[in-house]
Amino acid sequence: MEGFGLNPGLALHVGCGGDPLPDWLEGWRELRLDISPDHAPDILASMTDIGDVEPVDAVVCCHSLEHIRGHEVPVALSEFFRVLKPRGFVFIIVPDCEDAKPTDEVLFDSPAGPITGLDLFYGKQDLVETMPFMAHHTAFTAETLGKALERAGFGPVQVRRISHYNLIGVGVKP
């Protein structure tokens, strides 16, 4: 990863959907995991039960962790921790619900269309009807995401609020 001092390795892309790895992981090998066979993942599984995979250098989970129930978040994070090599890292993006209210007020426009507070809390309303896996079952703030990563054993942990009601959480496996 140029500029971050990381050499390319193997990244487990959890909840990959149809998306590629983020651009900053150019040169990394991707192991794709998704619960839906529609996305042709390498591993068809839930993030709460990844199964036997080779140890990975990174776990990337972009807009997927909010799709499981709150009590399942520690299970998923422990699975991420389990499959990581020592000094591997987890990179998570989730909606930032700290300043949002679950209303139909449009908060910002995205490539998928306008995003409301209801979308942040419950999933993009026009997708959830036909794609039940797109429903959101957990909401995060910077504090709750950071504490969840720490409780899972990651450290150091950093969580940043970024534009368009997003949080980025990064944790390292000691």
Average pLDDT over residues 166-172: 97
Cα of first residue to Cα of last residue in the chain, in angstroms, is: 20
Q: What is the mean pLDDT of the chain?
A: 94
| Neighbour tally for 134: CB within 10 Å | 18
Task: Indicate the helix (H) or strand (E) that contains 158.
Answer: strand 157-162
Q: What is the pLDDT of residues 109-140, one digit of tens each?
A: 998 899 999 999 999 988 888 888 889 999 99
Please write the tens of the pLDDT for every residue from 43-89.
999 999 999 999 999 999 999 999 999 999 999 999 999 999 999 99
Query: 132 — phi, psi (to 5°)?
Result: -60, -25
Of 67, 29, 31, the closest CA to residue 46 belongs to 67
Separation between Cα atoms, residue 42 and residue 14, nearest integer Å: 11
How far CA 87 is from CA of 57, 80, 113, 138, in Å, comes to: 8, 13, 38, 28
Residue 153's Cβ-count burial label (10 Å; 0-12, 13-18, 19+) is: middle
Whole-prediction pTM:
0.93
Residue-wise pLDDT for 92-103, tens only, equals 999 999 999 999
